[in-house]
Amino acid sequence: MKRLCNPVLLLVVSIAVLSALTGCGLFVAEGRVDVTSWEQDYYEFSQEYGMVWVYFEVTNTGSIDIDYYKVWFEVRCADGSRFQDWTNGLGVSPGHYVSDRTLIDVAGKQAVAVEITGFEVDNWDY
């Protein structure tokens, strides 16, 4: 009796076994977040600065959907103070991105920089 082995099936099974043994999954939720811009108004009548609008993009660089993401920001002000806040969102398909914005209160101070201090993604199926 002659035994035939499908090379594609053998390759797929080998990759799955190797991934399981090395702790590396085939289905990975991962992404990137970038601040695209930020803005802040100045109110002359009160001589105070307003809250900071932060505009950002979350890009799915993984192989499965990002069902949930959370982004932490830090705003640095002219007087050296720092203000942190976070926001979250849902649903980014692999290879796609979403544009979003959030508002950060800086207690009337002038913002000079905005940084991303943390980023977390999750897929509820894996």
Please report the domains of the chain, with CATH numbers, ordered by start residue.
Answer: 30-122 (2.60.40)
The per-residue pLDDT for 29 is 83
Give all strands (DSSP E) within the chain, no chain letters.
31-43, 48-60, 66-77, 82-92, 97-104, 111-122
pLDDT in tens, 63-104: 999 999 999 999 999 999 999 999 999 999 999 999 999 999
Phi (first) and psi of residue 125, to 5 degrees:
-95, -20
Q: Using an 8 Å Cβ cutoff, are 42 and 97 in contact?
A: no
Interatomic CA distance for residues 47 and 42, integer angstroms: 7
In the predicted model, is pLDDT for residue 49 greater than 90? yes
Among residues of the chain, what percentage have pLDDT more than 70? 79
Note if the pTM is more than 0.75.
yes
Q: Using an 8 Å Cβ cutoff, are 102 and 87 in contact?
A: yes
The per-residue pLDDT for 28 is 81
